[in-house]
């Protein structure tokens, strides 16, 4: 099935886009976390969101979640690992799943994790973002797993079930992963090493671990890994007033398009992106706008 729209990200921007697409009866898929946005839930008190004075981020998330439920909005709980332009549509890889959509709304928030030196150049040459897609390639081998959140631990455990040896780099508190072949590394990784393929991980203290592959399990992907041809400006997705990017049919909304990082901007841009997508699809099909 080819969806008309794929909305990526379940924060305020993605929710606003999905809500408007649902109200306008569009055929779309909404991909992200069913917990919506960890970041959006962190605000202790929000004073600048119109109509909801003194609400907390957690309460706002709960209100979004309740409204999504009432509206029958379904979330496909996955991380999108890569988006590939394919003529008049886009192919999205998410875990071991594959989706196709005519248009894409990127609502992925800011990328908090810096890409490690060497990482981008070695994607597909030993660097992977997807345990279920690429884990099988490392059966019986030595890998490093750099994991930024406890909720990805089950993916690391899956990898430990395949690899002979796992150097585990948890970048969060109280990691619980263990196993005979798992070595938890307390030092941070400072670079991924290799020429044609990954050969090792450099540690902040200067040491090196020899590995065959590196899995980076994170909340969000660097844009250069997710959709390399997307136009950026100062580390954000460059958009016009209609939230269109440089790629036909690809729109962006929320923190990923730049400052100010605010809920109201995110929901406003999500709304605009949804309407722009609808206009784009209608034009492509010579239809009148709803």
Cβ-based nearer residue to ligand FAD, 130 or 198: 130
Nearer to ligand FAD, 105 or 160 (CB): 105
Closest separation in Å from C-beta 226 to ligand FAD: 6
Q: Are 206 and 200 in contact (CB under 8 A)?
A: no
Instruction: Tell me how far, at minimum, the Cβ of 264 lies from ligand FAD, in Å.
Output: 6
Contact residues toward ligand FAD (CB under 6 A) are 8-14, 31-33, 37, 39-40, 42-43, 46, 48, 79-80, 107-109, 219-221, 226, 254-255, 261-264, 266
Q: How far is the CB of 166 from ligand FAD (least distance, A)?
A: 23
d(CA 243, CA 84) in angstroms, rounded, equals 20
Residue nearer to ligand FAD on the CB measure, 166 or 226? 226
DSSP conformation letters of 130-165: -HHHHGGGGTTSEEEEEE-SGGGHHHHHHHHTT-SE
In the complex, the smallest distance separating the C-beta of residue 53 from ligand FAD, rounded to whole angstroms, is 11
User: Which of 145/221 has CB closer to ligand FAD?
Assistant: 221
Closest separation in Å from C-beta 211 to ligand FAD: 24
Alpha carbons 260 and 186: distance in angstroms, whole number: 35
**Diameter over CA atoms, the chain:** 63
Quote the least distance from Cβ 47 to ligand FAD, whole Å.
6
Cis upstream peptide for 67 (omega within 30°): no
Residues 6 or more apart from 49 whose CB is under 8 A from it?
Answer: 55, 60, 263, 264
Identify the three-state secondary structure at position 274: helix
- Is there a contact between 154 and 169 (Cβ–Cβ < 8 Å)? no
- β-partners of residue 103 are 5
Closest CB to ligand FAD among residues 103, 220: 220
Listed residue (266, 270, 261, 265) closest to 242, CA to CA: 270
Which of 8, 144 has the CB closer to ligand FAD?
8
């Amino acid at each position: 099935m080819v969806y008309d729209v794929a909305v990526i990200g379940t924060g305020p921007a993605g929710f606003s886009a999905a809500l408007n697409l649902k109200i306008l009866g569009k055929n779309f898929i909404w991909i992200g976390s069913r917990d919506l946005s960890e970041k959006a839930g962190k605000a202790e008190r929000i004073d600048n969101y119109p109509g909801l004075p003194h609400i907390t981020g957690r309460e706002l998330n709960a209100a979004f979640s309740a409204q999504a439920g009432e509206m029958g909005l379904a979330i496909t709980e996955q991380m999108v690992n890569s988006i590939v332009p394919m003529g008049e549509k886009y192919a999205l890889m998410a875990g071991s799943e594959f989706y196709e959509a005519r248009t894409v709304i990127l609502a992925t928030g800011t990328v908090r994790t810096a890409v490690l030196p060497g990482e981008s150049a070695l994607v597909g040459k030993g660097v992977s973002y997807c345990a279920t897609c690429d884990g099988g390639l490392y059966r019986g081998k030595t890998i490093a797993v750099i994991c930024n959140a406890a909720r990805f631990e089950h993916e690391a455990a899956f990898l430990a079930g395949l690899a002979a040896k796992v150097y585990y780099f948890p970048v969060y508190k109280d990691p619980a992963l263990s196993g005979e072949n798992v070595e938890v590394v307390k030092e941070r990784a400072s670079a991924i090493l290799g020429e044609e393929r990954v050969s090792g991980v450099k540690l902040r203290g200067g040491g090196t671990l020899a590995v065959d592959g590196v899995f980076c399990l994170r909340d969000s992907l660097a844009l250069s890994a997710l959709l390399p041809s997307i136009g950026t400006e100062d580390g954000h997705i460059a958009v016009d007033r209609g939230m269109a990017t440089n790629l036909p049919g690809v729109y962006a909304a929320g923190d990923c398009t730049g400052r100010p990082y605010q809920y109201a901007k995110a929901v406003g841009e999500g709304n605009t992106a949804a309407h722009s997508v609808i206009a784009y699809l209608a034009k492509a099909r010579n239809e009148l706008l709803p």
